[in-house]
A and B are shown apart, each in its own frame.
Chain A
Amino acid sequence: MLFYKRHAKPGVKGWELRKTLGSDYPKVLKILDDYLKALDLQVKTVFEEGKEVEKPSLEQLDRARFLITLRGDLTPKEAKMVGWRIDDLAGLAITIAYIISKKGQSPRKDVEELLREKLPGWKVGINIDRYVRYGYLAQDESGQLYLDWRTRAEVDQKALIDLLLRTEASPASA
């Protein structure tokens, strides 16, 4: 259930798990999470509220989405096999980092201006639309971009910011 897509989103809602597995499904997920360690996978919970909830109630769990993600890092070689071009990944990384630095929201035109410094102009709009379609970003009617469910599920935001701040430009590419 956790592997398959429903309505273009991977994973399954808590209430669906409760229907199939019973109300003890959190325990079942914990056992599954331990089992998946050997395969370098993990069970990830994405709460509807958007933030991590320390002690979630049953109702919050029912509304949350559960999916499987990688547990460890990807190597650059493995990242190529995921199917993303380096330009597109870099664009996504910059966009997510920039929105985090702007307290979780930013006007789309500011993000486009930032991306245009390093990516071809014609690609910028297409890429942002792609990030929105995949669920990494959300856009409201007033053109504000926010981080969406897939970013919360897949990206360790704190680790990303720390790594970016620690990284110095490599001599070969500087």
Chain B
Amino acid sequence: MIRAVDGISLEVRGGDFVALLGSSGSGKSSVLNLIAGLDRPTSGSVVVQDRDLARLSREELAKYRLHVVGIVFQSFNLIASMTLAENVELPLRFAEVERSKRESLVRESLGRVGLRARMNHRPSELSGGEQQRASLARALINRPQLLLADEPTGNLDSRTGAEIMDLIFELNRELGMTVVMVTHERALAERYAGRMIFLADGRLVDDLHGDGLRGDDRAAPNRADADNSNLHLDASFGLKGDRL
């Protein structure tokens, strides 16, 4: 068994912008998957808003993913056969939101990322940056308290990547949304995150707070309100080869 996450213990306050840094195979994506409820720790706990994800049923984990977290992936992960509007609407279908309310929510969400004009396009008709913005719109549609981003700029050029990061930063500041972002670009983390956690070989090697980091702006207006989205992770996670 490979230990992808080896006894990592960390706590994230509501409204924080945290960057998980490390080289490939350092375990940063595994930590993100644990927080996203996509994986369960082999031992330990992942507590989000006083709920231990390790103890939730598959059904409860699905609800958690649906309502509490929004995820943005490096490869966008939009469904190719659906239009942008349909992609963004998908979580609303799972949440059984009434059809009449969905259209306005989808418009609002795509409007926030500046894609309202392209809502009837398919992902293949859009640039990488636009696809990532659509992916962000989908992550936001159910108004999550926790936004998880796995290398969100990894497939984008630097200018487009900066646009996406500005959007995420804006969400963190304006809505008080807690952001946990995985990246291997230190410069990007320094520019946007208020805290940088360094991982290597599945272990936490460094944890940098504040000290002039842009995201450590204590004056972020909604931070106090978002305090309930705090996160405690104290977990180990092993990969037992191919699970399928």
Asked if A and B bind, the verdict is no
Which residue numbers of B lie inside 8 Å of A, CB to CB? none
Mark A residues whose CB is within 8 Å of B: none
